[in-house]
């Protein structure tokens, strides 16, 4: 009931304006494919070897990451933050080198 009261308080064309704004934002959104080289820590390298031998698959996909964003610099900054948080701070990787950032539209065509 509370949600209904809030919706009735909004202007009549709020939903249409919201859809238009969402469509303009998502039309400029791009998908970036980031490839990078990495050096595993000894412990994590052994863990990946054992998991492959035991289960037949690799437990982590390292080397390629896909991120969405509006600007290449924004995506590169987010990439470095993610790498620090999930791989360097957790001691899975000892280092990494960014190789390439490819930009695509969400529809799938490659830009650069």
- pLDDT tens string 44-99: 889 888 888 888 877 677 889 999 998 899 999 999 999 999 999 999 999 999 99
Give me the mean pLDDT over the 18-31 stretch.
84
Q: Compute how many other C-beta atoms are within 10 angstroms of the C-beta atom of residue 36.
A: 17
| Sheet strand arrangement including 64-69 | 64-69, 30-40, 93-105
Pairing of the two strands 64-69 and 93-105: unpaired
User: Where does 1-112 have alpha helices with state H?
Assistant: 2-9, 14-27, 42-55, 72-83
Q: Does residue 40 carry a pLDDT above 80?
A: yes
């Amino acid at each position: 009931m509370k949600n209904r009261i809030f919706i009735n308080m909004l202007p009549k064309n709020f939903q249409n304006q919201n859809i238009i704004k969402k469509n303009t934002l998502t039309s400029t959104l791009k998908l970036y494919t980031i490839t990078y080289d990495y050096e595993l820590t000894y412990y994590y390298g052994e863990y990946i070897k054992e998991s492959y031998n035991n289960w037949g698959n690799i437990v982590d996909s390292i080397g390629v990451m896909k991120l969405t964003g509006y600007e290449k610099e924004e995506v590169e900054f987010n990439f470095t933050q993610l790498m620090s948080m999930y791989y360097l701070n957790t001691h899975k990787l000892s280092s990494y080198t960014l190789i390439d950032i490819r930009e695509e539209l969400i529809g799938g065509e490659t830009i650069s």
